[in-house]
Amino acid sequence: MFNAESLIANEPNEFDLKIEISRLRQASVEIWIDSEPLQEPHDICLWSLAASCCRPGNFEIFTCGCGNAGCAGIEEGVTVTHKGERIEWSLRSPQSKDGFKDEQEWRERSKLLHFSFDRAQYIREIQQEILYAEFNHPNDIELGPEWQEPQTFATLAQSLADGLAGTRAA
Ligand SMILES: [Zn+2]
């Protein structure tokens, strides 16, 4: 019999981050898993993604453009666990409750997705994409909601480097 659990245990999913800067100097971010785009029509918070490289937790990786995930109907983020050489994701898809009658209907009709990434591949992919964006646009693109301090690829890359250094030191 087909056993999804054992497939997941043996073969890691491949994580692919795509950051594009438009001519209007807006960052557009997509996550692809196993060569397919993750179909969530929301902004992706690169800060949460960077943090998920450094520690487990529940992260609002998908969020509203204003920075408040709840505003887009997202009240349950992505649960990230760190297990040895794997970094795993559990999330409900769609992430947003918008369009469902209530939370119960969303729970019944959404799918629980689980991915298991190779830790080194996951971190390398996220760090490389951020460093590449930093190289091209260190301070000229503002990331994050307007009400926050201006944040740029330079500060994001630094925060990820600091987080990873802390992980290694621990
Ligand atoms: Zn909003």
CA–CA gap between residue 31 and residue 40 (Å, rounded): 9
Which tokens is 111 given? Answer: 């799918």
DSSP type of residue 23: T
What confidence score (pLDDT) does residue 1 get? Answer: 46
Cβ pair 69, 47 in contact under 8 A: no
Q: How far is the CA of 10 from the centre of ligand 1 (A)?
A: 39
- State the first-to-last Cα distance of the chain, in angstroms, to the nearest integer: 42
Interatomic CA distance for residues 106 and 142, integer angstroms: 34
Cα of 73 from ligand 1 centre, angstroms: 9
Query: What pLDDT, on a 0 to 100 scale, did the predictor assign at position 146?
Result: 60
Give the per-residue pLDDT at 88: 98
Q: How far is the CA of 66 from the centre of ligand 1 (A)?
A: 4
| Residue 96 CA, ligand 1 centroid: distance in Å | 12
What pLDDT does 61 receive?
Answer: 95
Sequential pLDDT tens for the chain (170 residues): 455 555 555 899 999 999 999 888 888 999 999 999 999 999 999 999 999 999 999 999 999 988 889 999 998 999 999 999 999 999 999 999 999 999 999 999 999 999 999 999 999 999 999 999 999 999 888 887 666 677 899 999 999 999 999 987 76
Q: Is 84 exposed, middle or buried (0-12, 13-18, 19+ CB in 10 A)?
A: exposed
Determine the residue type at 128: Q
- Ligand 1 centre to CA of 72 (Å) is 6
Q: How far is the CA of 63 from the centre of ligand 1 (A)?
A: 8
Instruction: Give 157 Cα–ligand 1 centroid separation in angstroms.
Output: 25
- What pLDDT is attached to residue 67? 84
CA distance linking residue 67 with residue 63, whole number of Å: 6
